[in-house]
Amino acid sequence: MNEDSTQLSRRNFFKAGTVLASGVAIASALTPYDGLLFAAEAPGAKGKWYGIGIDITKCIGCGKCANACKQENNVPSDPFYFRSWVEQYTIKNDGSILVESPNGGVDGFKQSVPDAEIYKSFFVPKMCNHCAKSPCTQVCPVGATFETEEGIVLVDENYCIGCRYCVQACPYGCRYIHPEKGTADKCTLCFHRLKHGLQPACFEICPTEARIFGDLNDPGSKINYFLKNHTCMVVKPHLNTGSKLFYNALSPEVR
């Protein structure tokens, strides 16, 4: 009796197993995994698909971009809330790395290291990377953060519950909780200006044209020209966030 029931259940197990395995096999054949395709081709294949380029060799650290952003978008003036900021990297002769960003660079920079001790120094403007596979959008529990068709990551402040999960999930530190609104806040790529055909404030004000933005789907766009003619890199590529903020001359020290 016992033996019988064992055999029966074993037979059932194999039956169920076969059905399950073939089900999975058929399902995979119908929808092949397209991981590589996804990596090679932007999801927004039609229409505009915005990308950003920053040329580190051109940035002079004037901080006007950080300042313009605060003014244009009513970002709180205290030094804890930034949609856009600039970092100054100083690599000393002894190999040590100093990173500074007093008040996000809004007031410009003063080099604190004597010239004789400096191996090299450069500025890195930072802002939202408008990732195509953005971790902040992924984790938002209510869907208040979303990616627009143009590839811009936005927050619906009338919907955000202020749980701060997105702030934790952003590898680049580009989000903060607005102290008055209690909701998540971040760079919108000046969506309100884009809609009127204007450039984002930080791009318009840059005196050296270190910041470029444009439609990645348009072969003739400035951003495509920039990407073709420079060796560009994103910050933290290993995190596979699909960052669309490309830096020219990005040093490996920059994180």
Partner 1 sequence: MEDHLQNLYEVLSKIEGYVYPNEIELNWSILIVLYPYITGLVAGAFILASLERIFKIKVLKPTYGIALLTAFSFMLVATMPLVSHLGKPLRAYEIMITPHSSSAMAIFGFVYLWYLMVVLFLEIWFDYRRDMVIWGNESKGVKRFLYKLLSLWTTDISPKAVALDDRIGYIVTVIGIPSAFLLHGYVGFIFGSIKANPWWSTVLMPVIFLFSAMVSGIALVMIIYIVLTKIRKQLLDMDCLDTIAKYLFYILIIDFALEGLDQIHRIYVAEESFEALHALVFGKLFYTLFIYQGLLGTIVPLLTLGTLQFYKPKPQIRKVIYIILPILVLMGIFFMRWNVVIGGQLFSKSFYGYTTFKTGLIGMEGYLMAATWLIIPFLILSFLLWLLPPWRKIETSHE
DSSP structural state of residue 66: H
- Going 7 to 11 to 16 to 22, the CA torsion angle's sign is positive
CB nearer to partner 1: pick between 185 and 215? 185
Q: Give the number of other Cβ atoms within 10 Å of residue 14's Cβ.
A: 10
140 binds partner 1 (CB under 8 A): yes
CB nearer to partner 1: pick between 154 and 167? 167
4 binds partner 1 (CB under 8 A): no
205 binds partner 1 (CB under 8 A): no
DSSP structural state of residue 200: P
The answer to whether 246 touches 237, Cβ cutoff 8 Å, is: no
The answer to whether 103 touches 136, Cβ cutoff 8 Å, is: no
The answer to whether 185 touches 176, Cβ cutoff 8 Å, is: yes
244 binds partner 1 (CB under 8 A): no
247 binds partner 1 (CB under 8 A): no
Stretch (H or E) spanning 79: none
Site string for partner 1, 10-49 (x = CB under 8 A): ----------------------------------------
Q: In degrees rounded to 5, what are phi and psi of residue 223?
A: -65, -40
CB nearer to partner 1: pick between 221 and 241? 241
Amino acid at 163: C
CB nearer to partner 1: pick between 216 and 235? 235
What distance lies between CA 182 and its chain's CA centroid? 22
The answer to whether 88 touches 99, Cβ cutoff 8 Å, is: yes
Among 62, 127, 153, 167, binds partner 1 (CB under 8 A): 167
Site for partner 1, residues 175 to 204, rule: CB under 8 A: 175-177, 179-184
Among 118, 165, 199, 225, binds partner 1 (CB under 8 A): 165
Among 44, 53, 135, 242, binds partner 1 (CB under 8 A): 135
Which positions lie near partner 1, rule CB under 8 A?
78-82, 85, 87, 97-101, 104, 126, 135, 137-143, 159-165, 167-177, 179-184, 239, 255
